[in-house]
């Protein structure tokens, strides 16, 4: 699976607010569950359980909340931006403003890891992180992901 195929404009959420990480995950679970027509409680539980194992924040204002969840057939990625950022226990202590949420079917562990790796690779690019934080709309987010993925050979 290629990252640029998975990040789509109808899966981009901008201008979100949340008081803390649990609330942020709950908001994301609610919106994604609605889009996927699945129970919100199951998704919220899976994301929260994974987050409690260890923060998915990677630093520089980004996190990659992820989980494996029954009820989907393919990997699903959503992008969310919180203004202002959310305390997410990041290694650099900075609030998280942007998140790539990755959901995978339980029977696709290799693809799950591949997608997480692709996201981590593009997030190493400072110019990409800056573009993602200042993008004004979903089309700019998708365009930035496509350019970064191509530049990384993904």
- Alpha carbon distance 22, 88 (integer Å): 9
Per-residue pLDDT at 7: 87
Q: What is the largest CA-CA distance in the chain?
A: 38
42-99, pLDDT tens digit by residue? 999 999 999 999 999 999 999 999 999 998 999 999 999 999 899 999 999 999 999 9
Per-residue pLDDT at 5: 79
- Alpha carbon distance 84, 15 (integer Å): 9
- Break the chain into its structural domains and give their ranges: 3-151
Looking at residue 138, the DSSP 8-state letter turns out to be H
52-62, pLDDT tens digit by residue? 999 999 999 99
Question: Superfamily for 3-151?
Answer: Mannitol-specific EII; Chain A (3.40.930.10)
Cβ-in-10-Å burial (0-12, 13-18, 19+) of 47 comes to buried
Nearest residue to 138 via CA among 32, 2, 10: 10
pTM: 0.93
Count Cα atoms within 13 angstroms, Cβ side, for 51. 25
Looking at residue 71, the DSSP 8-state letter turns out to be T
């Amino acid at each position: 699976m290629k990252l640029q195929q998975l990040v789509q404009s109808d899966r981009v959420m901008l201008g979100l607010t949340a008081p803390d990480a649990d609330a942020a995950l709950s908001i994301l679970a609610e919106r994604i569950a609605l889009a996927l027509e699945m129970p919100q409680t199951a998704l919220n539980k899976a994301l929260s359980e994974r987050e409690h194992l260890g923060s998915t924040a990677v630093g520089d204002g980004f996190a990659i909340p992820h989980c494996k969840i029954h009820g989907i057939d393919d990997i699903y990625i959503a992008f969310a931006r919180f203004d202002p950022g959310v305390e997410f226990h990041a290694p650099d202590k900075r609030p998280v403003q942007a998140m790539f949420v990755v959901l995978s079917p339980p029977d696709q562990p290799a693809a799950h890891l591949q997608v997480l790796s692709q996201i981590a690779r593009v997030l190493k690019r400072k110019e990409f992180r800056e573009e993602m934080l200042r993008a004004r709309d979903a089309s700019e987010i998708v365009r930035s992901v496509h350019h970064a993925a191509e530049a990384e050979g993904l």
